[in-house]
Every structure is written in C-alpha cells, then in structure tokens.
Structure 1
Amino acid sequence: MTSHRGHQAFRLGLFLLPSSALLSGICLFVACVSGSRGRDCPVWQDRWTQPFLVASLLMLLGSLGAETGSLAWAGLGNWLPFFWAFWAFRPHLASELQRRQAAWMLVAGTLPVLLTGLGQMFLGWEGPWQLGGGAIIWFVAPGGEPQGRLSGLFDYANIAGAWLGVVWPLMLAAVLRPDRWWRRGAALVLTLSTVFAVLLTQSRNAMGSLALAVPFVLGPMQWFWLLPLLLLLASPLFLVVLPGVPPGWRQLAMAVVPEPILERLLERGGPTAWKHTRLGQWGYALELVAARPWLGWGAAAFSVLYPIYAAKRWHGHSHNLPLELAISHGLPVMLLIVGTVLLLLVVALRRGILQKAPMERAWWTATLVLVAMHATDLPFFDSRLNILGWTLLAGLAAFNQEVGETPEPRPDRDGPEAAPEPGAP
C-alpha cells in the first residue's frame, strides 16, 4: 500500500534532487519501495514498462560479450534501476494534484542552482561547501565551468543549462496558474532569473528550450500570434547558422548576437575541426552501429573507440541518445526505449494534455524539452538529470492511465491526500 510517508519522501527527494544526489536518492528509494507495494498490476504486466523489461534482458545479454568488458556492466546502472523507478514512481504521480505538487518541488529545489550560479559569476563564490558532515557537498567553480559559463551546482555548464531548460516550463506554468499574488510573484522572479542564468550557461540546447517551451505551455490558443513573434526573435540565430544566407545579412545578424553565444554557434576551428563537431561524431557513430547492430559494443564503447580510430581527442559520448543506445546495446534496445518514450509523448498529446491546466501542459513540455536535448547531447549521464527525466516520463504514463486507460486503484484514495487541503498549491 502506498503510504503517506512514501508520498512525502518522493516530494522531498525531488526538492533535494539538484542539491544532493545522495540525499535525494535515499528519499526516492524509499518512495520506490512504497510505490512498489500493494500494486494490483505487477511490473511485468504493465504495458508501459514491458518494453523496458525486454530492453533490460537484451542489455544483460549484450553485456556478456561486450567489447568494453566491465564498463558494459557498470553502464547498466544508467538504465536498469530507472526502469524500476519509472514504474514505482507512478503511484506518487497518479493525479493532477500529485503532479502539480511534484512540479512545485522541482521549481523550489532549483533555487540553490540559481543562487550558486549567479554567485559564482558575479560574486566570485567558490566551493567546495559541505553540509551535514559531507552529506551535501557543493563544488562551485569560481567563474563557472568551463570558465565564463554558469555551472552552479553542476559539473559543467551544459548540464546546468539542461536542468534549467527542463524546469523552465514548470516555472512558466506556475506564473500562469491562477494563485495567490505572492506565489505568482515568486514564480515570476524565478522564471526571469532562470532565463538570465540560461543565457549565462551559453548552452545552445538550453537557449533553444526557452523558445521551444513557450508555445506549448501557453497553449494552442495563443499560437496565432506567438509563433511569428518567436520566429522573428530567433531570426538572427537562423541567419548566423543556416547555409546560403547572403553575406550582408549574416554580418548584420552576427552584430546582434552576443560574442560568447556566437562562438558557441559557429564552433570555429582549423581545417579538421569538423571531426570534433556533432556531425563528425555522428558519422563515426553510424559506422559503429553498422558493425554491430544487434547487441552493440557495450556501454562506453564510443568513448573508448572514438579517440583511437576517429580523432585524436576524447569524447565521453556520441552526443545523440538513439546513437549512443544503438552503439552500446544494439538497435533493438534503441527502438524499444526511444519508441516507448516517443509513444508516451504522442499518446498524451492525443489525449488532450495541451488542453489541460497549465502545469499539465508544462509537464508534457518539460518532457519534450529533455527529449529534444538528447538529440544533440546526453545530459542523462548526470544522475540528477536522469532521475528528473524518468520522473517526467512516469508522470506522463500516469496521465495516460488516468485519462485514457483503466487506472490502477490508488491505495491513497482514502488517505491523507484524498482531497487537496485549503490553500494547497
């Protein structure tokens, strides 16, 4: 039976997630145990979890003969525990109220990311800072990591940008939702601070997520004026990066775009610099997939083989999740996992999630943003982003069950959360 304490542990885990993977992990493990008990539908009968179980078996089989040896087995830790969490989180996200409360915890938990990020950029803050005898350690690099780019509580600016870009739709929904003025005011301050912090990360994915999220969170009724405005605002970026643009127009656009962002967009380098771009990495990744398409090479294969055979520079991954999955575990695993994630998005869309309350729209949008980011980067290798992603996917599966399928009976229906308390968010 899913207990009230299990729900509390789940929310606390989400609040602590960006600040401490250890403390958050303990809370969320308690929530997983609680969410696994008393379920009418066991994990192997759940339709949304079945593809992940099949993928698990194929991953284990592929690891037996993997070229990367023990790295292949260690790499399973990025997947197998989270398949369980995807199923076990769902009782804690079974209603709109529970998803909204979870979103509030993620928004509130982002405040330390913003404070430490802005502090490192403008006040020279420098870690490590320890709390609770080392239970929480914040490594804050002065001036950001890499230098000049906001990273906050994360190891790298792109990861910080990914977190902020995914939580940004939830913040925007908190501003739009009718509520007390002080709550909406606080959400507005967080939202504007997040936009500023994302620009300081100089992460292209994160900056793109700001524009991608707005039309979906506002809802289709606003698209007739919003989409042309977004295209107009983004036109300087398009003129800089798209081929065939007249030189005069390109120079004008380059004068408008800030220099740090311009450097990130153009990826300037010598005559062989293309080998180190996404296109060069993806080309070699396709060669690896073609060589071992069924069970893959094993986890971390790209990071081992790329600097030896393709370029004299190390890269930890292929910067594309479908390719990374196909390299490490084979095409069948890639199709099972990526196909299920996309199906979750499509089914929720068909069941009218964009016509629901702002936070429901924002939940779907945050998932879309994280999926889009994994087309050109792999932030899920950070455990906090990985947990965030599977939480969002579990919420979508819960929405699909609640709206269009026969939902599991919620054990907490007669418990403390049967109805929202007065003044509940």
Structure 2
Amino acid sequence: MTIAWVLFQLGLFLLPSSALLASLLLFPALLVGSVRREGPFWADPWNAPLLFAATAMLLGCFGAYSGSLAWAGLANWLPFFWGFWGFQPFVADARARRRAGLCLVAGTVPVLVTGLGQLWWGWQGPWQLFGGLIIWFVTPGGEPSGRLSGLFDYANIAGAWLAMVWPFALAALVQPGLSVRRRAVVVMLAAAQVAALLLTDSRNAWGALVLTVPVVLGPPSWPWLLPLLLLALLPVLLAVLPGVPLLLQQPARALVPDGIWSRLTDSRYGAERAVASTRLSQWGVALQLISERPWLGWGAAAFSVLYPLRTGKWHGHAHNLPLELAVSHGLPVALAVIGLVLALLITSLRLGLRGLFERAWWAAVLILVVLHGTDMPFFDSRLNIAGWILLAGLRCQIRSGREPAGDAPAASLG
C-alpha cells in the first residue's frame, strides 16, 4: 500500500469535516496520480470536452462582464478538471471504489454528530483548530433555524452531502457477510444518516433518499420494491398534489407528518413568495442572459450581479448548473461539461454495474446530477471535490468494464 493511497483515503475521510485538511492530503495524492500514468491528460478522449471547456473559459475571461470575478471563478472548474484525470488511479477498480465510498461514509460521522447535537442539545460554535486556521460555525438550532446543517454553512448543502453519501451507507447496510457487531454499527450509522437527512428539511435530499433505494438494490428487487415504494409514497402524493379532492387529501395529511407535507407545498411559510424569489424567475432571467451572450457568457459570478439589476432581488446563482454554466461561460462550455457527465453516466450504465457498491457509486453521481438541476451545491468545495472524484470513478468503470467487487486498494497503487 503506497503512501499516496493512504493520503487519498485519509483525505476522503476528512473531507466533510475540513476542505483544508482534506486538500493538504489529497493534493500530494493528486500529484502522484498525475505522474504515474501511461499517457498525458490530452491522450484520453474523455478529457477532450474538459480541454475545450477550459480553453473557452479562459478566452471568456478577457471580455467578461464580471471582471476579476470571472478569473477567480475559474478556481471552481480548472483544478477539478485536472482532478478528474489525476485521481483516477485511486479509484481504478471496484475494490478501490468500494473503499473510497466507505471512507466517505465514515467521514460523515462528524456531520451527523454535530448536526444532531445542534438540533437536540443546542450545540454551537465557533469551534477552532490550529489557532483559528480551521473554524466550524455550528449554529444552535441549525442554519436556517430548525434545519440540520452540521459542519456545513447551510442545511441544503448538508442535505446534498448526506444525499450523495447515502448510496454508500445503504450499500454497506445491505451487503452480505457482516458480523453481528459490524452489522449493528452499520445499522446505527444508516439510521443516523436517514434521520439527519430528513432533518435538513431539504426537499431535494428527501427525493434523493427515495431515489437511491431502487438504484442501489438493483433490478432484481424492483418487482417487490417499486410497488412498496409507490404504496408508501401514495399518501404523500395525495397530501401535496394540487387538485386532489379534500375527501382524499385531508386523511392523507392526517397520516403524513405536518413537517413533510407543509414543506413540500411551502404552506408552512404562509404568504406566497415573491415571483422574483422563485426558481422559475431565476431560470427565466438566466435564459434571457444566455440569449444575449450565448458563446462565451458573461463571466463567473455574473448572475449575482445581473439578477438584482433585472429583478430587484438578489440571488447568488441560477439554481441550475447547466444554466449557471451557460450564463457564466457560454452554451458551448455548458454543453461540453454537462454532455461529459451525462455520457459518463449513460456509458457506465450500458456497460453494466456489477456489484452492490458499483451501483452505489453510480447512484451517488446520479444524485448529484439531479440535485444540480434545482440547486448549486458544487459551490461548496467539499462537494465539488467529492463530485469530481466520483466522476473519475465512472471513467474507470468504463475503462475496466466488468470486474468483481472486493475490499482492497487499487492494484496500480499497491
């Protein structure tokens, strides 16, 4: 087992707790993963969309409306294009991917503990390490109030992280061959993760919780699982869908917890939200901005500058990754990056996902793709790093084709 492989695992374990500590471990691993390769970055055809996107992003910065913010915004993309390639040796086979997924599950424990602590026992920060170099701002009662956020700045981001890790926790829960003691530990971790995910009050995370189950358990389970899920979700649908007769909706709302159906319908907030504060308004303005500068975009962070000028309301991003990419860097860049991600998902699925943790890996990427349809959790560096490592794993799935699952580090790394 090489030092780089150990650093990679420790980096994944520390990632949800501290992007800084994780980066200090993952960066040297990335350097090793980049030099011990059979060919250069540009030799892999799967990197061609990223080379094109990087070039177009750099060109767009010279005439960007957002000025210096456009150059700073490249940090959200260019280093991770490199990471997509450089981390591949560490997720090169099914055994390494399984180990990486379990590292993410184990590393999520501090998020669960602090999140449940802030809601149930009123824990609060800031907590500091290394003289303030690392600070955790744990808000008592969650951020926003009443919603679990743990070590993350906002409940929706915590929900996105928990949703991404949930497929691996579920795979660990249902895997055969565990001892009674290990099974008990996994059950407790999985139960805590489900509880924390529900307490984030994130509708996207709730949806991911359900979507993950049939994907991870696989087609053999669908004849009994899908009807069971539909039966369980039927009261929720009756409680929240408009147009349902009161004769059916009232009993459904009596059965479904108030916190769930009121959150799904936004009725807990009383008055209707201003149109300019909704996703539909943000997407409409984004489409208008794209039509005005479709080729190289307006520059990174331009949406946060232009949206208030168009609507009088402030929003930091378009709440949709393809639209945000197109606004910032142009339609060609958006098509290249999003096309690459979708091609990885589709190609790896067509080749077959043999093994429980291989399906969990694919499900984690799918969850992130779905989440980025209505939000932008990748602006949190921890989710961004994890997401590109997951994409690197899909590339390796495609390269290696079918292989048996196991629990040992990648052969290429000792």
- TM-score bracket, normalised by the shorter chain, equals over 0.9
Gaps of 5+ in 1: 406-410, 418-425
C-alpha distance 156-414 of structure 1, shift in aligned 2 (>3 A): closer
What is the rounded CA distance, in whole Å, between the counterparts of 1:319 and 1:349 in structure 2? Answer: 27
Q: Look up the match of 1:276.
A: 277
Matches within 5 A, 1:152-301: 152-181=150-179, 182-268=181-267, 270=271, 273-301=274-302
What is the rounded CA distance, in whole Å, between the counterparts of 1:371 and 1:123 in structure 2? Answer: 34
Is contact 2:89–2:412 with CA below 8 Å preserved after alignment?
no
Normalised by the length of structure 2, the TM-score is 0.94
Listed one character per residue, the Cα deviations across residues 104-131 of structure 1 (whole Å, up to 9, x for unaligned) are 1101000000000000000110111123
Q: Look up the match of 1:420.
A: none
- 1:82 Cα offset (Å): 0.2
What is the rounded CA distance, in whole Å, between the counterparts of 2:247 and 2:316 in structure 1? Answer: 38
Is contact 1:294–1:329 with CA below 8 Å preserved after alignment?
yes
- 1:254 Cα offset (Å): 3.2
What is the rounded CA distance, in whole Å, between the counterparts of 1:341 and 1:159 in structure 2? Answer: 21
Matched, 1:309 2:307: no
C-alpha distance 306-174 of structure 1, shift in aligned 2 (>3 A): same
Question: Which moves more between the two structures, 95-104 or 376-385?
Answer: 95-104
User: Which amino acid in the other structure matches residue 95 of structure 2?
Assistant: L
- 1:403 Cα offset (Å): 0.9
Matches within 5 A, 1:404-415: 413=411
User: Which amino acid in the other structure matches residue 289 of structure 2?
Assistant: L
DSSP 3-state at the match of 2:28: helix
Gaps of 5+ in 2: 404-408
Is contact 2:96–2:410 with CA below 8 Å preserved after alignment?
no
User: Which amino acid in the other structure matches residue 206 of structure 1?
Assistant: A
Q: Look up the match of 2:372.
A: 374
What is the rounded CA distance, in whole Å, between the counterparts of 1:41 and 1:215 in structure 2? Answer: 38
In the alignment, which of 38, 50, 54 is matched to residue 52 of structure 1? 50
What is the rounded CA distance, in whole Å, between the counterparts of 1:259 and 1:304 in structure 2? Answer: 38
Listed one character per residue, the Cα deviations across residues 163-208 of structure 1 (whole Å, up to 9, x for unaligned) are 0011001001011222432223212211111111111110001110
Q: Look up the match of 1:151.
A: 149
Normalised by the length of structure 1, the TM-score is 0.91
C-alpha distance 395-272 of structure 1, shift in aligned 2 (>3 A): closer
- 1:270 Cα offset (Å): 4.5
User: Which amino acid in the other structure matches residue 73 of structure 1?
Assistant: W
DSSP 3-state at the match of 2:46: coil
What is the rounded CA distance, in whole Å, between the counterparts of 1:392 and 1:359 in structure 2? Answer: 12
Identity %: 59
Q: Look up the match of 2:348.
A: 348
What is the rounded CA distance, in whole Å, between the counterparts of 1:388 and 1:116 in structure 2? Answer: 20
User: Which amino acid in the other structure matches residue 258 of structure 2?
Assistant: E
The root-mean-square deviation of aligned C-alpha atoms, in Å, is 1.9
DSSP 3-state at the match of 1:134: coil
User: Which amino acid in the other structure matches residue 115 of structure 2?
Assistant: G
Listed one character per residue, the Cα deviations across residues 95-154 of structure 1 (whole Å, up to 9, x for unaligned) are 111111111110100000000000000011011112333343221100000000000000
Give the aligned length.
406
